[in-house]
């Protein structure tokens, strides 16, 4: 049975707030609220105080909030306006210095919060995200389950892919397989990019028709228990790969393998990124690998930490990250391979299958 770590998470956050000299924190980011309370609805504010938490939501979530949150927070349901309810709560016990998530709050939110708070406000950055970066065993298992589900959906889809299908049709096959196998939702819009469009790292799936012998890049994910998996596979459809395709693919695969073998918690994001980048650059394709090597994965598909040449911060023990090198050549196509990795204290553990042999679909 999964352990309930919400009280522990709330205590860790209060310790951070105490270090900052804050009398409380208003949490708006829904993944942060879910992490701290278990609430999975689409509208809520969470007021974190030294002696407890108050979840404020609306009538749509009255029953759901009580069920999901239990006694981990006091639930306040407002029939009209959650911000008005927050204002009344703050007036009852005015905090001298209240933190808020400056990276999440809009200008309008800041105005409403300023009007609601008799005391002073303090902008904060990533207080809860900092806690979320290192995953518990239960979180790792949820991501592992999501990755296994995504791989099973891909296995179901690949035999159905044919030359002449549109990217939309292929995406529909894959997304239907994900849902049939139990994915709660798609963590991000599925990317299906064929032929020259595979050179677009974040291509939008289009009505383009897949041609014979072309690349087909599939970037997709699954969600289990709120936690995300994120995978990319690149295949050739309708013919054997030609020499150039095979050469580029082998380089990307070798770069990913090098990163997977040598990645460790405690490395800087910059050094982690270099594990794959240096090899790709040494073969003359450095400019064709324009994005970072990877990113954190959890309740969001993009979260801390980052494996990037601009990041000097160390990768925390327990983080789950993607490892996704790619080479993109405009007008020709691109290759990306992506797997999900747990940075355990004893070394990296690939949570997805890392089945990256070059597939040539008939």
- Residues whose CB falls within 8 Å of the CB of residue 227, separated by 6 or more in sequence, listed in order: 139, 142, 143, 146, 298, 299
Q: Do 326 and 241 belong together in one domain?
A: yes
Same-domain status, 183 and 275: yes
- Cα angle 322, 252, 222 (rounded to 5 degrees) comes to 35
DSSP assignments along 157-189, one per residue: HGGG--TT-BHHHHHHHHHHHHHHTT-SS-SSP
Considering the domain architecture, whether residues 172 and 71 belong to the same structural domain is answered as no
Cα angle at 157 between 153 and 159, to 5 degrees? 135
206 and 276 both lie in a single domain: yes
Instruction: Quote the pLDDT of residue 362.
Output: 84
Contact 29, 127 (CB under 8 A): no
SS (H, E, C) 40-86: CCCCCEEEEECCEEEEEEEHHHHHHHHHHHHHHCEEEEECCCHHHHH
Judge whether 215 and 195 are in contact, CB under 8 Å. Answer: yes
Which residues of the chain form beta strands (DSSP E)?
24-27, 45-49, 52-58, 74-78, 97-101, 120-124, 191-194, 214-224, 227-237, 294-296, 303-307, 320-323, 326-329, 333-336, 339-344, 347-350, 360-361
Domain boundary among 103, 132, 161: 132
Neighbours of 76 (CB within 10 A): 17
Asked whether the beta carbons of 145 and 342 are under 8 A apart, the reply is no
Say if CB 8 and CB 144 are below 8 A apart.
no
Dist. CA 9–CA 256, nearest whole Å: 34
Q: 155 and 191: one domain? A: yes
**Same domain for 27 and 150?**
no
CATH number of the domain within which 265 lies: 3.90.230.10
Predicted pLDDT at 46 = 98
Query: Do the beta carbons of residue 65 and residue 57 sit within 8 Å?
Result: yes
Q: Which run of H or of E encompasses 259?
A: helix 243-262
Do the beta carbons of residue 218 and residue 181 sit within 8 Å?
no
| Among 78, 98, 132, residue at a domain's last position | 132
Q: Are residues 266 and 222 in the same domain?
A: yes
Give yes or no: residues 346 and 290 share one domain: yes
Q: Which helix (H) or strand (E) segment is 333 a member of?
A: strand 333-336
Distance CA 7, CA 308 (A): 33
Token digits of residue 56:
């404020």
Per-residue pLDDT tens digits of the chain, which is 362 residues long: 468 999 999 999 999 999 999 999 999 999 999 999 999 999 999 999 999 999 999 999 999 999 999 999 999 999 889 999 999 999 999 999 999 999 999 999 999 999 999 889 999 999 999 999 999 999 999 999 999 999 999 999 999 999 999 999 999 999 999 999 999 999 999 999 999 999 999 999 999 999 999 999 999 999 999 999 999 999 999 999 999 999 999 999 999 999 999 999 999 999 999 999 999 999 999 999 999 999 999 999 999 999 999 999 999 999 999 999 999 999 999 999 999 999 999 999 999 999 999 999 98
Q: 158 with 215, same domain?
A: yes
Residue 360 has a pLDDT of: 98
Q: For the chain, how many structural domains are there in total?
A: 2
CATH number at residue 11: 3.40.350.10
Domain boundary among 68, 100, 132: 132
Q: How many Cβ atoms sit within 10 Å of the Cβ of residue 123? A: 11
Which residues are bridge partners to 48 per DSSP? 25, 53
- State the Cα angle at 285 between 279 and 288, rounded to 5°: 120
Asked if residue 164 and residue 98 are part of one domain, the reply reads no
Place of tokens 């790709």: 280
Domain presence at residue 1: no
Are 91 and 118 members of one domain?
yes
Range of the domain at 197: 137-361
What's the length of the chain? 362
pLDDT of residue 1: 46
């Amino acid at each position: 049975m999964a352990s309930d770590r919400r009280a522990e998470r709330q205590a860790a956050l209060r310790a951070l707030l105490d270090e900052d000299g804050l009398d409380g924190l208003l949490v708006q980011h829904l993944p942060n609220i879910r992490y701290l309370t278990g609430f999975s609805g689409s509208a809520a504010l969470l007021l974190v105080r030294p002696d407890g938490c108050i979840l404020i939501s609306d009538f749509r979530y009255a029953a759901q909030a009580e069920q999901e949150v239990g006694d981990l927070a006091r639930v306040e349901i407002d029939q009209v306006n959650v911000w008005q309810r927050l204002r009344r709560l703050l007036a009852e016990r005015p905090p001298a210095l209240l933190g808020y998530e400056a990276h999440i709050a809009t200008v309008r939110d800041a105005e409403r919060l300023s009007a609601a708070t008799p005391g002073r406000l303090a902008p904060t950055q990533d207080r809860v995200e900092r806690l979320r970066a290192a995953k518990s065993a239960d979180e790792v298992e949820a991501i592992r389950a999501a990755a296994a589900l995504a791989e099973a959906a891909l296995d179901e889809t690949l035999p159905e892919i044919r030359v002449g299908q549109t990217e939309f049709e292929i995406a529909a096959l894959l997304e239907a397989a994900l849902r049939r196998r139990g994915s709660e939702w798609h963590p991000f819009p599925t990317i299906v990019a064929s032929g020259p469009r595979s050179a677009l790292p974040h291509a939008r799936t289009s009505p383009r028709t897949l041609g014979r012998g072309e690349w087909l890049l599939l970037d997709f994910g699954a969600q289990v228990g709120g936690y995300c998996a994120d995978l990319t596979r690149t295949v050739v459809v309708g013919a054997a790969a030609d020499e150039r395709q095979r050469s580029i693919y082998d380089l990307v695969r070798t770069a990913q393998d090098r990163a997977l073998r040598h990645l460790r918690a405690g490395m800087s994001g910059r050094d982690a990124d270099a594990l794959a980048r240096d090899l790709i650059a040494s073969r003359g394709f450095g400019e064709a690998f324009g994005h970072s090597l990877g990113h954190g994965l959890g309740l969001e598909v993009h979260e801390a930490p980052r494996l990037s040449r601009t990041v000097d911060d160390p990768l925390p023990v327990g983080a789950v990250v993607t490892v996704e090198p790619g080479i993109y050549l405009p007008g020709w196509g691109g290759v990306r391979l992506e797997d999900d990795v747990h940075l355990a204290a004893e070394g990296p553990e690939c949570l997805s299958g890392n089945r990256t042999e070059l597939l040539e679909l008939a």
